[in-house]
Structure 1
Amino acid sequence: MLGQGAAGIDDCVSDVRRAVVHVRRLAALRGLEKQCLASGGSSAGAHLALLAAMTDPGVAAVVALNPAGLDLLAFPPEVRRSIEQRAGIAAGRAIDYSLIEFVRPGSPPMLIQHGTADEVEPIDHVRRFRDAMVLAGNECTLLEYDHAEHAFHYPGNGRHFDDVIDATVRFLLDRIAAT
């Protein structure tokens, strides 16, 4: 995590990839099959889970809560530069981490839960990402929470916690049942 041992986003991506490999190894030792493994995260963690799943599929599904970085090039240049600086991305290299640039057929099913008033990643970026994923033939479900801001899903941050947990469980159980 940035500020906790990671110098930049590349360190974070490497950590996530190592974690996926480690979890796959542990799952195999315990007799769990790949179709039972899912990943997910919130905000920057959701970005990392999605990036890992889209570039090196190792999980059967991804749950992303208010993901950041879906369409970095849609931000005005000054905002993009600020994001690059805060995330440890080399100047002018936001395209290398903008998830919409990684959309290809064959990504694992994704559930994105996002607030319509998210101040970090605008809902129109999320809708554009979802549409690109579906157009590429991938399953990408977007659940929108009206007037919810970033981090809306945490206990105590509003009325959505139970709905987010219920939707996540249904999504994951449906994926496991389909295998």
Structure 2
Amino acid sequence: MTSLKILLTTFLIAFSFTVKGQANFVPDSTLIYKTTAQGNLKMHVFKPSNYKASDQRPVIVFFFGGGWVGGHPKQFYQQARYFADHGFLAISAAYRVRGKHKTTPFESVTDAKSAIRFLRAQADTLGIDPNKIIASGASAGGHIAACTGVIKGFDETDENLDISSIPNAMLLFNPVIDTTEKGYGIEKVGEDRKTELSPNDHVEEGIPPTLIFHGTADQTVPFENVERFTKLMTEAGNTCELIPFEGKGHGFFNGSFFRKQKADTIFNKTMDLSIKFLEKLSIKGVE
């Protein structure tokens, strides 16, 4: 009986921890940031415990991966909660993808730019510092995040273009950074448009400070692509740090909530390095 009680107690503690942990990765609210012909696009918002709409907090917006075809904002719920717990307003945003909306990477990039512009335009009502907006994402989501800081044009024409869609910093996880035959996605953007959305082909001075996490054994997005991007950024006088993860493949950074794995060792490392990188830029969460 004693052994049974111990087992039951252990199970209840584990169950309680799991439920509590997973419940913690539920957005505090959602809001529509854009209306398109294919439907409304939402931001899934995670707020610090002491958040007030009168705050001036840094904000980070994550874009999920999925090859511009699929994916879900849930991929970055755990990261968003981490940043919210560190004093940021944190958002995981939806955007148009081919599987659901019958669109192309070009619309995906436009949506990412709309998301940045929306946050800056609504800074006063959302408690945001408009000069501390961070774009983040993974794979195709990392690509559209990078495009907000690198690629000119592709803005939604009916928006107030006097409000910038360029973020103040970028955190990128195994991002698609070259859409030519040297990288990933040429079949989705088209041979005749292969460089239009290829960040490696548009690096110039003045791009926001960037931190990249990438696995050296990535078979989807070649590690060489981000090495080249880092070199081009540095040569142009921009800040760009590349953190390689030796022997890791695509999607190595995902946390236990999204991948249902046991350990969060890599997740914790990427989050800690992200916070330290932003602190060097004087971007810190509000206590």
Structure 1 range deviating more: 110-119 or 22-31:
22-31
- Report the AA paired with residue 191 of structure 2: A
Where relative contact order (Cα < 8 A, 6+ residues apart) is larger, the structure is 1
Instruction: Tell me if the contact between 1:74 and 1:125 (Cα under 8 Å) persists in the aligned partners.
Output: no
CA distance in 1, matches of 2:127, 2:179: 39
Q: In the comparison of the two structures, how many residue pairs are matched?
A: 170
Alignment match, 2:274: 168
Instruction: Tell me if the contact between 1:2 and 1:12 (Cα under 8 Å) persists in the aligned partners.
Output: no
Alignment match, 2:195: 95
Which structure: greater strand fraction? 2
CA distance in 2, matches of 1:42, 1:177: 21
Offset of residue 177 of structure 1: 4.8
Task: From the superposition, tell whether residues 177 and 155 of structure 1 become closer, same or farther in structure 2 (CA, over 3 Å).
Answer: closer
> Is 1:115 equivalent to 2:215 in the alignment?
yes
SS of the residue aligned with 2:118? helix
CA distance in 2, matches of 1:175, 1:120: 31
CA distance in 2, matches of 1:177, 1:17: 21
Question: Unpaired runs of 5+ in structure 1?
Answer: none
TM-score by length of 1: 0.85
Alignment match, 1:2: 98
Percent of aligned pairs sharing the same letter: 27
CA distance in 2, matches of 1:42, 1:32: 23
**RMSD over equivalenced CA pairs, Å:** 2.1
Question: Unpaired runs of 5+ in structure 2?
Answer: 1-96, 153-164
CA distance in 2, matches of 1:129, 1:6: 30
Structure with max Cα Rg: 2
Q: 1:42 aligns with which of 120, 138, 141?
A: 138
Alignment match, 1:143: 243
- Report the AA paired with residue 105 of structure 1: E
- Report the AA paired with residue 63 of structure 1: L
User: Which aligned segments of 4 or more residues in structure 1 are displaced greater than 4 angstroms?
Assistant: none
Which structure: greater helix fraction? 1
- Report the AA paired with residue 236 of structure 2: A
Task: From the superposition, tell whether residues 139 and 91 of structure 1 become closer, same or farther in structure 2 (CA, over 3 Å).
Answer: same
Instruction: Tell me if the contact between 1:66 and 1:150 (Cα under 8 Å) persists in the aligned partners.
Output: yes
CA distance in 2, matches of 1:124, 1:49: 19
